[in-house]
Structure 1
């Protein structure tokens, strides 16, 4: 439908749909960011709880979980809030992938210098996808990566994975990822 509005420009249609989707899930993204910042602020208190309940027996671990949940409830933090945007985006990404792979018009259309149904020949779009993913994650994790080595590893691992996927998949998915980030 959007491609028809843009005079069969499927690249522009992907950009418009991506922006619309991002605007629709913006409230979830804002909630995710607020929850992430609140979790970051609670880290010192959670560390104190871990030290207080450092024993490995089951009752102590249960008490630690109860105290942690009480702390989160007290401050209005939902530990699962960060999962909602990605859970919503995954079906959309899968839908884009299927639309691109199954719709001959998209696969045969070119946008700027690349064919939407083929891999990008000069790796510019995949590299941009990786760079924008890195920047987005860096902004989301501001201050947390230094405290948590696993988060620091994800800061680098996700962009690398995105570049590998973007090089392997049709350019239309890379375009979606660049515009989305």
Structure 2
């Protein structure tokens, strides 16, 4: 009897690592994106623009911190980087509130907003867990005309961030 138990344990120990490697892994359940003004992924999710798989996963544009792409470097969502795709442009004033919809509330270091290749605003959360919706009012100063705003949610306890691009016309 003792011998059978040892054999069963040995077999189990040998098979367990194989199961861990071969069983499918579910992706993280969700994260967040800018819902208004409508980001590119929000437009995809609403069916405003025809897109690929981002239509069903607007909250999943995640990549390493420090990127400047709308897709977060994720090839599955490369359509978000295509400036010629016909994205709807939202007219805004010199100051605009951006609303994030969070489906997983990660500890946050900073929220950043870029326009014309430069940082326009940064909000520090010091590692706090945000609520399910987050709003930031960004002042664009003298910046006017059509702009692609890159909004970045930097996670405090990982090397990743979430990315969203919003097409706007400032002052129009």
Task: Pick the TM interval, shorter chain.
Answer: under 0.3
Going by fraction, where is helix more abundant, 1 or 2?
A: 1
Higher share in strand:
2
Alignment TM-score, normalising by the size of structure 2: 0.21
